[in-house]
Amino acid sequence: MCQAGIVARGWESKSVEAQMEAAEDRASLANRRALADEEIRLQRERESLELSRTRVLQDIASSANPRYREVLERSLGFLDDKLKALAAAKG
């Protein structure tokens, strides 16, 4: 009977260890998913900013109004700053 108690404790210890490893694996997987989700979000934001930048450049090229051109050029500067910040945040 004494040996059965020792074996049971041994199995219990292994079970706890396996549960801890499984929890660590789940946490690691969740971190990877969160990282992947963040990378996707940053990619979409960058693409959106690049599309906006393309549109502003087209509007600048076709604009005859100097005041409107000035607004567009400021918008272009803002978009460029956002793109630089995004690139710096990425690494």
Give all domains of the chain, ordered by start, each with its CATH number.
2-90 (1.20.58)
Total-model pTM: 0.62
pLDDT on residue 33:
80
As a whole number of angstroms, the distance between CA 85 and CA 74 comes to: 17
Helix (H) or strand (E) holding 34: helix 2-62
As a whole number of angstroms, the distance between CA 79 and CA 46 comes to: 10
The Cα angle at residue 39 between residues 36 and 43, in degrees rounded to 5: 140
What confidence tens digit (pLDDT) does each residue in 41-91 have?
999 999 999 999 999 999 999 999 999 999 999 999 999 999 999 999 876
pLDDT on residue 81:
97
